């Protein structure tokens, strides 16, 4: 039986890069997104063309009821879940100095980026434990997509940085808790990745990259992140639970 991966925010950007990699490795895929299913038909058809089974689980991961519905749809259709990739995330609707961050923006970003990761991981982890207890050969893992913003301060989007720093601790907490079940939990930390989220700051980062922002002088791509997730999902790092995997072209490498 094929293994099943659920990727939140998987219909575009980094999430789609992850979906394409996992489908290419033979995983059946559940894609979560907030857009109506008819809006992502082309994406679904492209993934199906890779020879895997695909379902679309529409829902807002910031909402408890939607998280439950998403997992139930995976359970009803596939009857199993081997890989959870917590990728869904948003930037603030308006970049504001930390001296002027609104509570509404803080709540929206943390609910979508951090609270969803914590509680979707909690629910999936309990299901994975059930699967492990009923089948000792069950193999599962959880992969959280954070950002260099977990440690690199951007004072005009503080709520985003806080959400990503929180994901880093979520990873450590569940890695520690799930170790006895041999269910590893990983964090993948991308740098400057070319997606629709970064399209509005393209010129800024084009200039910074040209000036040496990254050791490797180029933007990262969703494919770069997808390859890292693919290696983790394949079980290539079974003894590295709780660890951070950097995909930033050396941006955070200390240099003189």
Residues assigned a catalytic role? 160
For residue 83, give Cα distances in angstroms to 2, 37, 200: 12, 22, 32
Nearest CA to 86 out of 69, 105, 70, 73 is that of 70
- Cα separation, 89 vs 163, whole angstroms: 9
DSSP label of 237 = -
Angle CA 35–41–47, to nearest 5 = 110
Report phi then psi at 253, rounded to 5.
-70, 120
How far is it, in rounded angstroms, from Cα 167 to Cα 114? 6
Interatomic CA distance for residues 216 and 113, integer angstroms: 28
* Structural tokens at position 65: 């009821």
């Amino acid at each position: 039986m094929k293994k099943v991966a659920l990727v939140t925010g998987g219909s575009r950007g980094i999430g789609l890069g992850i979906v394409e990699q996992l489908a290419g490795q033979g995983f059946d895929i559940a894609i979560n997104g907030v857009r109506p299913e008819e809006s992502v038909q082309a994406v679904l058809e492209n993934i199906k063309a890779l020879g895997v089974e695909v379902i679309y689980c529409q829902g807002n991961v910031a909402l408890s009821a939607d998280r439950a519905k998403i997992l139930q749809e995976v359970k009803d259709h596939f009857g199993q879940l081997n890989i959870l990739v917590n990728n869904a995330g948003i930037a603030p609707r308006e970049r504001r100095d930390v001296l002027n961050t609104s509570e509404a923006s803080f709540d929206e970003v943390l609910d979508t980026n951090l609270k969803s990761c914590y509680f979707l991981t909690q629910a999936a982890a309990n299901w994975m434990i059930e699967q492990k207890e009923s089948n000792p050969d069950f193999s599962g893992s959880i992969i959280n997509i954070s950002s260099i913003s977990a440690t690199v301060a951007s004072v005009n989007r503080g709520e985003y940085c806080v959400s990503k720093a929180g994901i880093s601790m979520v990873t450590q907490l569940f890695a520690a808790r799930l170790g006895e079940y041999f269910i590893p939990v990983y964090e993948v930390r991308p740098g400057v990745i070319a997606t629709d989220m970064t399209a509005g700051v393209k010129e800024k980062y084009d200039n910074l990259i040209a000036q040496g922002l990254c050791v490797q002088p180029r933007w990262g791509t969703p494919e770069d992140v997808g390859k890292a997730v693919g290696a983790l999902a394949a079980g290539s790092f079974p003894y590295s639970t709780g660890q951070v995997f950097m995909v930033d072209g050396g941006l955070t490498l200390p240099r003189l």
